[in-house]
Amino acid sequence: METKVLNTNNLPFCKGCGHHGISQNTAKAIENMGLNILDVIFVTDIGCHGIIDKSLNAHTVHGLHGRSVALGAGVSMGLPENKKVIVFIGDGGATIGLQHILEAARLNVNLTVIIHNNFLYGMTGGQLSGLTPKGFNTVITPNGSPFGEHDICELVYTAGANYVSRVIGIGDFSETIQKALETPGFSLIEVMEICPSYGVKFNPKRKLQEIVEAANKPIKTWTNNRAPFSFPERKTVNNLFDKTPVIEKLNVEKNLTKQIQVVLSGSAGEGVQLAATILCKAAVKHGYNITQKGTYPVTVGVGFSVAEINISPNEIYFHGLSNPEYMIITSQDGYEYSKKTIQTLNKDALLFIDQSLPTPDTNAHIITMDFRGKGAKNAVLSALFSFAKKTNIISTETLKSILSEMNMLEKFPLAEIEKELA
């Protein structure tokens, strides 16, 4: 190995922090193995340990609090077996993401997790975690934590990890880290340390070794001999976009010279998002670029359903909407949800609204028609035909061809709609 793992001797941790030793021993283990630094990926969590990223020459990914093991598992599953994925996580993050750790161990995913267990949340002022030993003082338990802590090593070993070890974070423990890295499958090392800022402050007369012994946490190694994770149906593709269906463009003149914003607003279960997809597909067939975004309540099939669409002859760099030029409102749910937007439409905007709804207070030009009379599930699609006829941005013939491709024409009241639009 020509490139060192660490790019500095001045690590960004507090004086006396055990994170120094973990970083240096991990670097030593990797360098002793002769690994190419570009074959090593560090995934770090939220916490003091996570500021190591800038000091590493390897690839780094910085995750949300407690989610780094899930991220690391995903990274590992997507890489060849010769790559090494190392997750740095604190005892707080391990508490938050305990299920991720257990699942990765159960699946025996090929990665190494190193827990920086300094017995508390150091970055936020010294609160206790799920790995804080009973009796250890923290900022919110000044007389000692009254709660029993997880034995993370026993949990992970029982879940099926191939290599688990607990070490005191003092001196040279690089051989333990190297053994973990060399073990196929899931490995975890719990490094016991004490936060020099809060752990020492709240427990001034206690020593690390004594705390570990009082917690009855043996310094030992556990091993299983299971096959590492593999997915028999795994397939590799060079480009996911290769699987995207190609939409053939029509040889038609573009009538749109600038980007426009379109909002479809109706009720969930009435085909709003499907209509939005059809409109976007038609726009692409006419040679335009599009973005599509759906908004609806968490409960599927209840309440409003809104689609926000950008259509442009040029590339689109922002998918958000500010002041739509066109709105289609087909139900009371959609009307209520979009009422404020309707009120802000300018005089050049066009509002298509079902005749059953109140006449809104707006400066936009209003086109009122009986969209719901074609059936609730056909209301937005019916309005799209009116939109196409009125704006000429897309054609009704294009809409018809898409409905035909999707085998939707048979049940769609096309003749009635064409008669109204004639």
Q: For 65-110, how does the pLDDT look when each residue is reduced to its tens digit (9 = 90+)?
A: 999 999 999 999 999 888 999 999 999 999 999 999 999 999 999 9
pLDDT of residue 93: 97
Q: What is the mean pLDDT of residues 49-59?
A: 95
Q: What is the mean pLDDT of residues 146-157?
A: 97
Tokens 């059936």, residue located? 375
User: Considering the chain, what is the average pLDDT of its residues?
Assistant: 95
Sheet of 40-44, strand order: 59-62, 40-44, 84-90, 111-117, 186-192, 163-168, 221-223
Residue of higher predicted confidence among 229 and 231: 229
CA distance 291 to 405: 22
Q: Is residue 298 scored above 80 in pLDDT?
A: no
Sign of CA pseudo-dihedral 95, 96, 97, 102: positive
pLDDT over 70, % of the chain:
99
- Residue 3 pLDDT level (bands cut at 50, 70, 90): confident
pLDDT (tens digit, 9 = 90+) per residue, 97-109?
A: 999 999 999 999 9
Specify the pairing of strand 260-267 against strand 304-312: antiparallel
Q: What is the mean pLDDT of residues 197-209?
A: 95
Of 231-245, 273-287, 288-302, 385-399, the one with minimum mean pLDDT is 231-245
Q: Is residue 270 scored above 70 in pLDDT?
A: yes
CA distance 336 to 333: 5
Q: Is residue 243 scored above 90 in pLDDT?
A: no
pLDDT (tens digit, 9 = 90+) per residue, 153-179?
A: 999 999 999 999 999 999 999 999 999
Strand partners, 116: 90, 191
- Residue 237 pLDDT level (bands cut at 50, 70, 90): confident
Q: Is residue 204 scored above 70 in pLDDT?
A: yes
- Residue 302 pLDDT level (bands cut at 50, 70, 90): confident
Residue pair 298/234 in contact (Cβ under 8 Å)? The answer is: no
pLDDT over 90, % of the chain:
89
pLDDT of residue 300: 67
**For the chain, what is the largest distance between any 2 Cα atoms, rounded to a whole number of angstroms?**
90
Q: ∠ CA(228), CA(233), CA(237), 5° rounding?
A: 105
Residue of higher predicted confidence among 196 and 231: 196
Which residues are within 8 A (CB) of 76 and not within 5 positions of it... i.e. 6 or more apart?
83, 85, 109, 110, 111
Residue pair 279/384 in contact (Cβ under 8 Å)? The answer is: yes
CA distance 189 to 117: 10
Q: What is the mean pLDDT of residues 169-195?
A: 97
Q: Is residue 1 scored above 80 in pLDDT?
A: no
Q: What is the mean pLDDT of residues 375-389?
A: 96
Q: ∠ CA(279), CA(277), CA(369), 5° rounding?
A: 50
pLDDT of residue 232: 79
pLDDT of residue 108: 98
Q: List Cα–Cα distances, 156 to 26, 172, 173, in angstroms.
A: 21, 24, 20
Q: What is the mean pLDDT of residues 312-326?
A: 93
Q: Is residue 111 scored above 80 in pLDDT?
A: yes
